[in-house]
Structure 1
Amino acid sequence: MNANKALWEKGDFTRLAACMRDSGAALVSTLGVTPNMHVLDLGCGDGTTAIPSAQAGAEVLGVDIASNLVAAGNARATAMGLGNIRFQEGDASALTDLADNSFDLVVSIFGAMFAPRPYDVAAEMVRVTKPGGRIVMGNWIPGDPTLIAQVLKVSASYTPPPPEGFVSPVLWGKEDEVRARFAAAGISEANVTASRELYTFRFDGAPKEFVDLFRTYYGPTMNAFEAAEKDGRADALYGELVVLFERENVSGDPERTEIPAAFLKVAVDVS
């Protein structure tokens, strides 16, 4: 099986996505989505940003590599009575089912950054965007002191080294890497802007319980615990994550979790 597909079909990312809904909707509100705009959401999960785009009146296609998340997205859209959105399986590195110049806006928030072959991802996003359209990405920043960058860093320290040729997904969080990838796809540097923004996770429970959610349902953390258990380090990993989550919690209530995480917001104007 495709390793990336296996990673995101592991567990149930919809459990984490439920903690991201408010920030997803807030982010979409900044993108200028209008009725009848054609929007592609890559690595869409179950619709954290795709569904708010549809609620704003756009015609939305959500594409994700994980079949369980595609099914969950379609179920959410049906339950909400949204006829202007659909979800389908696809690989951000090779959008073979999508025609050139199809979308006014291509969005990928913490999605396409995890796909292999990042230069192919950039080229595909540019290819399917209409001239005059935009691409907006949200990418976790390597080494950032806030939550998700640290979760990925800690998890990596408990897992075996990646295979030869592996390209870290968090390189999408480095502005020079982003510019190089889009330059290779024909986008001038002047048409790429980037800024550090915050995305807030909200969970109705203590930080320790939020760690349990990551341990049980988030693919990268699940893999880290499986590896740690093999050499007797699972408790150490758990303790490290609990300290991190408790430190980052800004809710003011030890029984409720609210954690901001920094990301690189990338906007690309396609001419």
Structure 2
Amino acid sequence: MNPNKALWEKGDFTRLAETMRESGAVLVEKIGITEGLKVLDLGCGDGTTAIPAAKAGAEVLGVDIARNLVEAGNKRVQSEGLTTCTFREGDATNLSELKDETFDLVISIFGAMFAPKPFDVAREMVRVTRPGGRIVMGNWIPGDPTLVAQILKISSAYTPPPPEGFVSPMLWGVESQVLERFGQTGIPAGNITFERDTYTFNAAFPPAEFLSRFRTYYGPTMNAFEAAEKNGKTDELQRELEALFVSQNQSSRENETSIPATFLRVTVRK
């Protein structure tokens, strides 16, 4: 089985996506998704950005490698009564089922960054974007002190070294890497802009419960705990993550969580 597919089907990312809905809608508004746009959402999960985009009047196709997330997204579309949004399985490194120059906007918020072969990902995103269209990526930043970058950093310290040839997904958060990847597709550096942005996780439960969801449902954290258990370091990993979640929580309410996380927003104009 494709290791990336196995990773994202391992847990149930919908249990985390529930805390991302508000910021997903805000980001759709920032990007400027309007009526009539044809949009591809790569690594769409269960529709955190795809569904708000469809509600804004766009025609949206969501593509994700995880079958369970595609199914969850299609259920959400049905329950919302949306007719302009569909989800299907697919791999961001090879979108051969999609025609060239099909979409006005390709978005990938914390999605395609996790696919292997980043140069293939950049090539495919550019290929399916029409001339004059845009690509917008949201990518976590390596070494950033906020939540998700730190979760991934802490988790990696407890897991075995990656296989030879592995390219860290966090490199999508490095501007020079982004310029090189899109540059190889023929996009000039002047057509690529970067902005630090914030994504806030909001939950009606305390940080300890939020961490529990990462431990139970988020593939990379699940793997970290499995590896830690083999090495007798489960308690150590738990304490380290608990301290992170508590320190980053900005909610003033005792049983609620609000944690902002910084990311790199990349805009590519074709």
Encode CA deviations 1:50-89: one digit per residue, 9 max, x unaligned. 0000001111000000000000000000000000010000
**Matched-pair contact (CA < 8 Å) for 1:63–1:89:** yes
Residue 49 of structure 1: aligned partner: 49
2:85 counterpart residue number:
85
- What does residue range 136-215 of structure 1 map to in structure 2 within 5 Å? 136-215=136-215
Q: In structure 2, how many angstroms separate the alpha carbons of the residues matched to 1:45 and 1:148?
A: 17
Q: Take 1:79 and 1:26, find their aligned partners in 2: how far apart are those partners?
A: 21
Q: Structure 2 counterpart of 1:197, which letter?
A: D
Q: Distance in 2 between matches of 1:238 and 1:209?
A: 12
**Partner-residue secondary structure (3-state), 2:32:** coil
* Structure 1 position 228 matched with structure 2 position 231: no
Q: Does 1:252 align with 2:232?
A: no
What's the TM-score once normalised by structure 2's chain length?
0.99
SS in 1 for 2:30: coil
Counterpart residue identity of residue 198, structure 1: T
Q: Report 1:96-111 matches (<5 A).
A: 96-111=96-111
* Aligned-partner SS, 2:83: coil
How far the C-alpha of 1:225 sits from its partner, in A, is 0.3
SS at match of 2:225: helix
1:120-151: CA deviation from partner (whole Å, max 9, x where unpaired): 00000000000000000000000000000000
CA distance in 2, matches of 1:136, 1:142: 19
Match of 1:72 in 2: 72
2:68 maps to amino acid: N
Query: Is the 1:207–1:254 Cα contact (8 Å) retained in structure 2?
Result: no
**Who is 1:6 aligned against?**
6
> Whole-Å Cα distance in 2 between the matches of residues 195 and 34 of structure 1?
21
CA–CA distance in structure 2, aligned partners of residues 101 and 56 of structure 1:
22
Question: What is residue 94 of structure 1 aligned with on the other side?
Answer: 94
**SS of aligned partner of 2:250:** coil
The residue type paired with residue 140 of structure 2 is W
Q: d(CA) in 2 for partners of 1:46 and 1:20? A: 11
The percentage of aligned residue pairs carrying the same residue is 66
CA distance in 2, matches of 1:172, 1:254: 35
CA RMSD of aligned residues (A): 0.5
Give, in angstroms, the shift of residue 219 of structure 1.
0.3
Deviation at 1:9, TM superposition (A): 0.2
Stretches of structure 2 lacking an aligned partner (at least 5 in a row): none
Whether the aligned pair in 2 keeps the contact of 1:249 and 1:258 (CA below 8 Å) is: yes
The one-letter code of the counterpart of 1:91 is D
Letter in 2 for 1:138: G
Distance 2:82 2:265 in 1: 27
Which AA in structure 2 matches 1:195? E
